[in-house]
Amino acid sequence: MRRYFKVKSLSEGRRVALKRVIGYFNKHHNKMRYAECLAQGLPIGTGPVESAAKDIVQARLKRSGMRWSRPGGQTILELRAHLKFGPWDVMWSTLKATA
């Protein structure tokens, strides 16, 4: 990226943006371990999170004619997340204990 600073046709705005991006990469390079994560079979993209959001949020809260208050929607989302990904019995025991 640094070599782009030598390009004469690069506008000042682009130079500032490029400098900011280079600074970000320099500051966070230790967090960018893509090859290591891939070697361990770990996901490096946002696909799984986006898929879960679609499955949990949109499938339940965005059905035709549904209207939710923020607290009601949050409660439903928590229940769906626990049902899909968490131990239901642990969540249910916790819910009963706090009720």
| Entry pTM | 0.41
* 92 and 51 fall within a common domain: yes
* 23 and 56 fall within a common domain: no
* 26 and 55 fall within a common domain: no
Residue 18 lies in a domain: yes
The tens digit of pLDDT for each residue in 1-23 reads 667 667 777 888 988 998 999 99
Q: How confident is the model at residue 24 (pLDDT cuts 50, 70, 90)?
A: very high
Q: Is the pLDDT of residue 74 over 70?
A: yes
Asked whether the beta carbons of 44 and 34 are under 8 A apart, the reply is yes
CA–chain centroid gap for 1, Å, is 27
Asked whether the beta carbons of 1 and 18 are under 8 A apart, the reply is yes
* 52 and 94 fall within a common domain: yes
Residue 37 lies in a domain: no
pLDDT of the residue at 98: 67
- Determine the structural domain holding residue 10 and report its residue range: 1-32
* 59 and 93 fall within a common domain: yes
* 21 and 59 fall within a common domain: no
